[in-house]
Structure 1
Amino acid sequence: MLGHQLKAEFKRVATWRQFTIWMLLILVIPTIQFLLIKDNYVFYRHLDLFLRLNSNFIPLLFPIIMVLVNTIHFVGEQKNYFIQYTRIRIPLSTYLFSKLLTNAVLSFSIAFLITFIPFVFSMYIEPYLGIVKLYPTEGNPIPYTTFEQLLFLGTLPYGIIYSLWVGLNGMMYATIALLALMILEKSFIALSIPFMYYLLANFITQALGFDKFSPSNTIFPFSISQQPLWTVFVPFTILCIAVIILGLYLKENMNKRYE
C-alpha cells in the first residue's frame, strides 16, 4: 500500500507549475548569481567561481527554498480537509509517511542539483567558454574552505560529496517544516520554524564567536576559513534530533490531530 501511495504522491506533484518552480530554483537563481559576480570578483581558481555561486541568495534563504520545493503544498490539503477524507481509504500513518518520504526525496534532489549543476558548470563548462578571467595568485594566499579537504579524492568526488551534503541538509529542513505542519494548526508558524531556527542559530553562534558551528557556515562554508570536517556535523546532529522528536510526537498524536 505504501508503494502505491508513493506513486500517487509523486504523480500529484509532477505538475508543470511545480516543474517551473524547480527549474527556477535549479537554473535561474544560479544564473542570476553568475551574472552578478562574473565581473565583480577576483578568481584564482575555477573552484573559487563555484564557491561564489553558492553564496548570497542560497545560503541566506536556504530553509525557505527547501519549503518551496514541495512542503508548502501540504497547507492546501489541510485547509480543504483533504486528509480527513483520505484516511477513510488508507491508514493515516501510511498517508502521512508517504508525504514525508516524497518531500524528503524531492527536497534532497533539488538541494543536490542546486549545488551540483553550478559545480559542473564552474569546473567543466566555464573553462571552455572562458567567460570568467582567472588571475595569478602572485603570492596572495588562497582562502581554502571547509570540504576542500576532500579534493585529494579528485575534483568530481569533491563536488559529488559536497552536493550530497547540501542535499541532506536541505532534506532535513524540509522534513522539519512538514512535520511541524502536520503537528501544528497554524501553518505560517509551522513553515517559519526552520527559517527562524536558521536565523537565530546563525546569530547566536556568531555572537558567541562560534561561527564554525553556525548552520549557514557548515552548509555553505565559503565566508569562513577552513575548519575540521567534524564541525559540520554539530548543527546537523541538532537537525536530526529535531526530526526524531517531531516524528515521535506526530506518531503519538496524529489521530488526535486529524480526528
Structure 2
Amino acid sequence: MTLAVTNPRTVPAELRRAGRSIGVLGPALIVVLMPAAIGILVREEYALSGSLEFFGLMLRNFVPLLFPVLVTVVYLPRLSDEFANGFTGSVRTRTTLRTYLGSRIATAALLSFLTFTAMIVVCWLVAFVIGPLVGMNEFENVLPAGAAPDALLDPVSRATFTQLYADPPVLYGVVYAVWVGLNAALVAVFGTLSLILISNRFVALAVPTVAFLVVGFALQVLGLAPFTPTFATFPFGLAQQPLWTPFVPFMALAIVCAGLWVYVERRNFETSGLD
C-alpha cells in the first residue's frame, strides 16, 4: 500500500487525513463509546451508591488493563504502515526528518488526547447528566467495604482526583478528562518513538503494553501500587492518594520519552525503524 501525503510538515494536514480514515476514525469511536455502553449494560449487576460509583464502574472494567492497547490502535498502525512503506525516504526531498517525525509525534499525541478526553466526557455525561434525566440512575444506600458510615455523603474519600468533586461535579469531570487525555497522549508519544527505533512493527506496537504490564507488576510486588501507570490514570479500586502521586509515573514516562527523542536526534534519525 502506498501512502500519499500532500504536506508532511503540518500537523493539521495529518489530522485531517487521519480524521477521514476509517482505520483511525473507527477505532477512535469505539474507544470513545464502548466504556459507557458496557457500563450501562452491566450497571444493574452492581449495588451502586451514586453517580460517582457509576462513573467509576464504566472506567474500571476493561479500560485500565487495555489502556495502552487502546491508545495504540487509534493511530499507530497507520503510522506503522507509513514507516514500513518507505515514506520517510521520499520525505527527505521535501522537509527534514526532524520536522516530519515531530509532526507525526504531535499528531499521535493530539489524536490520543482528543479520543480519550472524549471517552471520559461521554462517561461523565452518562453518569451525571443523561442517567438522571432518563431515570437510569437508581442507586442503593450501600457502603464500600470498610468505609466510614458517612462515606456515601463524602465522595472525596473514595478515589484519587475525587478531592475535586463538588456539586455539581463539573470540576472533577473536566480535570479528570484532561488527565486521562494527557496520559493517552504520552503513551502515544512513547509508542511512536518505539516505531521509530524498532524495525519489527509488531514488537514496536507491543512495547507500550508490555512496558505497562512489566512496570505495573514490579511496582505492585514492591508495594508501590499507587505509582503504577495503570492506577495513576485509572485510580478506581484503590484508596485515595495525594494528588501529586499520579504525577510521579507520568513524569517518569515523560523523561523516558524525552531521552528517546534525544537519542534519535543524536543518531541523526538513522534508526532501525526508519530504514
User: Do both share a fold (TM > 0.5)?
Assistant: yes
Unaligned runs of 5+ in 2: 1-6, 144-148
| Correspondent of 2:235 among 187, 196, 221 | 221
Tell me how far 1:16 sits from its aligned partner: 4.6
Partner SS for 1:8: helix
Tell me how far 1:4 sits from its aligned partner: 5.5
Alignment: residue pair count: 257
1:170 matched residue in structure 2: 184
Whichever structure has more helix as a proportion of its residues is: 1
2:120 matches 1:115: yes
Tell me how far 1:32 sits from its aligned partner: 2.3
Partner SS for 1:230: coil
| Correspondent of 1:191 among 186, 194, 205 | 205
Q: Distance in 2 between matches of 1:146 and 1:186?
A: 38
1:126 matched residue in structure 2: 131
CA 254–8 in structure 1, closer or farther in 2 if over 3 Å, else same: farther
| Correspondent of 1:78 among 76, 83, 93 | 83
Tell me how far 1:136 sits from its aligned partner: 2.1
The one-letter code of the counterpart of 2:205 is L
The one-letter code of the counterpart of 1:130 is G
The one-letter code of the counterpart of 1:190 is A
CA 39–62 in structure 1, closer or farther in 2 if over 3 Å, else same: same
| Correspondent of 1:26 among 32, 51, 58 | 32
| TM-score normalised by L of structure 1 | 0.92
| Identical positions, percent | 30
- Checking the alignment, whether the CA contact within 8 Å between 1:104 and 1:171 is kept in structure 2 is yes
- Checking the alignment, whether the CA contact within 8 Å between 2:179 and 2:233 is kept in structure 1 is yes
2:12 matches 1:7: yes
Of residues 15-24 and 2-11 in structure 1, the stretch that sits farther from structure 2 once superposed is: 2-11
- Checking the alignment, whether the CA contact within 8 Å between 1:100 and 1:178 is kept in structure 2 is yes
- Checking the alignment, whether the CA contact within 8 Å between 2:158 and 2:239 is kept in structure 1 is yes
2:170 matched residue in structure 1: 156
1:202 matched residue in structure 2: 216
Of residues 48-57 and 7-16 in structure 1, the stretch that sits farther from structure 2 once superposed is: 7-16
Tell me how far 1:152 sits from its aligned partner: 4.5
Partner SS for 2:244: helix
- Checking the alignment, whether the CA contact within 8 Å between 1:145 and 1:227 is kept in structure 2 is yes
2:3 matched residue in structure 1: none
Q: Distance in 2 between matches of 1:30 and 1:50?
A: 9
2:69 matches 1:55: no
| TM-score normalised by L of structure 2 | 0.87
Tell me how far 1:162 sits from its aligned partner: 0.6
CA 246–154 in structure 1, closer or farther in 2 if over 3 Å, else same: farther
